[in-house]
Structure formats: structure tokens, C-alpha cells
Structure 1
Amino acid sequence: MEIDRLKIYYLEDDGNIPNNPDLPVLIYRNAVKDTAEMEEIFHLNQWMNSWINGIHDYHHYHSNTHEVLGVVSGDASVKLGGEKGVELTISKGDVIILPAGTGHKKLSSSTDFKVAGAYPDGADFNMYEGSLKDRPQVLIDIKNVPLPEFDPIYGNGGPVNKYWLQSRTRA
């Protein structure tokens, strides 16, 4: 993978959305040429329980699993990390890997915007919207989510393995 196509974001707890204290968000720009194969690529790398749809237009996160989102068509403006997070434009072929706890929200999109989503080993995901009543349990859940064995695009030895394993050993 060309390093200029890899973007890394460490997102802090914004008070409502916990994000992940140890693992960065990874964004692979223009990583998949034939986006019709997005789900198949995820499956080959053991990211399952996949779907194709959009991204919710409200801040939400999953405390019990990591998530990969691959843009199948169109483009969108998204906010990662809650209100105090980062705003990005994502386009066809881009892949976003969200560690457990990372908030995400669609701000706007083209009419043809679609993403494929999947989870390591086909995990079932929960959904939270940033209510303080959910803490401290979600913080415990986030810390206990295991690292995936494979990067959802590049398999063994991809950026997930490199950056997430480095992050875990630093924590």
C-alpha cells in the first residue's frame, strides 16, 4: 500500500462518544478498484456479517466490535469521532476501518452513495448514540474487543496488523 493513500486518525473521547483510547482509525484512499467485489474482499479476510447500505445520519458507535466501511458508490461527507471529531469526504473505493467505540455519522452524500460494512469474524454489533448512562460499561467493552487477525483489505500484515498491534503494545 502506498503510504500517501493511508490516513491515520487518533480520536479522543469527546465526552459523549468514547472513541478508542488505544487504536487509530485507518483510512485507505482509493484502495478497491472494483468496488462490486468489496464484500468478497472483506469475507476473504474474515470480516463478515456484511451488508450494503448507507451510513446513519446521527452519531453512533459500536462498543463490542470493530467495523470496516468500504465505499461502493458515490461520495459522502462524514464526521468521525463525535461533534469534536474530524470531518472527511469519502469516495468510491475508499475504505475506513473503525476501531470499537469510534463514532461515525453521515453529514451529506451523493444520491448514489452506498457502503459495504463488515465486522471481524462476523461479530454481531451493538449500537450506541453517546448517552452518558451507557458508561462505564461501554468503556470496558471497548477495551475488551480483540484485535482482528487480518486486515479487511490486505489480509495478513496489512496496516491494521501494523498500526493496531503497535498501538496495543504502547497502551
Structure 2
Amino acid sequence: MSIPQPERLHLESDAANGYPNSPLPVLIYRRALDAHSAEERAEGFEALFKRHGWPPAWRYHLYDFDHFHSTAHEALGIFRGQARARLGGPDGRDVMLNEGDVLVLPAGVGHASLEADDDFCMVGAYPPGQAPEIERGDPAKLAEAQARVAKVTVPSTSPVGGPLDALWK
């Protein structure tokens, strides 16, 4: 199986809203996994992420409020439905997420669901030793969040396979 090339989305810091974002690009793998049923896709994402060193942590939807994680990178595998998401905080960019897509969010990148199918669901995963805190933008605490983001180590592999350092430049 060949590793798909991801779309790369660079997001600047949103200081006005207190979202650090990241100098590393968001990676969007379109149709990274194709399966006949949602359950097969969920299990497939869990196996794929685990195989590449990103242990799966949950199955859930995307919160409908802007938030970020300054202590962990995050992989999201969409196994059911579709959603229009915003990346980068309240003034960020909209992206469509569909079944089979994988979103890799560097620590600090704001994200929220703007609209989603009622059954929209994802598998979430994090690199070993990284635990996410749910944070909302606060301009007064931006420097602290940026300092935490800068300390998060970059794993050697992407959650879908292949080296991550070449993609996160």
C-alpha cells in the first residue's frame, strides 16, 4: 500500500484570539483509508495509527467550539459522515472532512466543527507520552501556550506512515 501525499495547510498565529497555531503545517490525507463500513474504517484507522506509533485514544465527534492542545499533536481519522471544520481559531480557514480522511494537527492548532452530519465520528490518536489538554484561546495567555507548543516533540513517523520530519517543514 502506498502512502498518500497530504495536503499541507500553514496557519499563522492568531494573537488577537489567543490561538498559537504552529509553524508546522496541518496535514490532510484525503481518502487515506477506504472500507465498506464505518466500523471497518474505525478499526482500520485504529490499526493504522497504532502500527505507526500513534496509539488510538477515542472515538467521538469534533467539538463545536474552537479549541487547541498545546501539549500534544493529534491525529483524527474520519470513519463516518462528513463535517465542515474550522482550523486555526475563530478567524481560521474552513475545510471539509470526509469519510476516509485523516487530519494531523500539530500542537497549538485551533480546530472546531462548524457543521457535521448527525452521525459524524472520528478516531483520535496522540503520540506516546503526549496528553492533550483542551484549551480555548486567551490572548493574555498566548505566550505561555506558545512556550508549551514549542516543547512538544515531533514523532518520527506520520500516523499514516512514512517519515514526519520531511512533511513538517
Structures share a fold, TM > 0.5? Answer: yes
Runs of 4+ in structure 1 deviating by more than 2 angstroms, as ranges, are 132-135
By how many angstroms is 1:74 displaced? Answer: 0.4
- For 2:123, the aligned partner's letter is A
Q: Which ranges in structure 2 are unaligned for 5 or more consecutive residues?
A: 36-40
Query: Matches of 1:106 and 1:56 in 2, distance apart?
Result: 6
Query: Matches of 2:153 and 2:70 in 1, distance apart?
Result: 12
Superposed CA deviations along residues 82-132 of structure 1, whole A, max 9, x for unmatched, are 122110111000000000000000001111100111101152111111012
Match of 1:162 in 2: 166
Q: Which ranges in structure 1 are unaligned for 5 or more consecutive residues?
A: none
Match of 1:13 in 2: 13
- For 1:69, the aligned partner's letter is L
- Judging by fraction of residues, say which structure has more helix: 1
Superposed CA deviations along residues 44-67 of structure 1, whole A, max 9, x for unmatched, are 111125100001000000001100
Match of 2:32 in 1: 31
Superposed CA deviations along residues 117-171 of structure 1, whole A, max 9, x for unmatched, are 11011521111110123232111111111111211011x43xx33121xx2xxxx
Superposed CA deviations along residues 9-34 of structure 1, whole A, max 9, x for unmatched, are 100111221100x2000000000113
Any conservation in 2 of the 1:66–1:99 contact (CA below 8 Å)? yes
Query: Matches of 1:72 and 1:143 in 2, distance apart?
Result: 31
What TM-score do you get using the length of structure 2 for normalisation?
A: 0.88
State the Cα RMSD in Å: 1.4
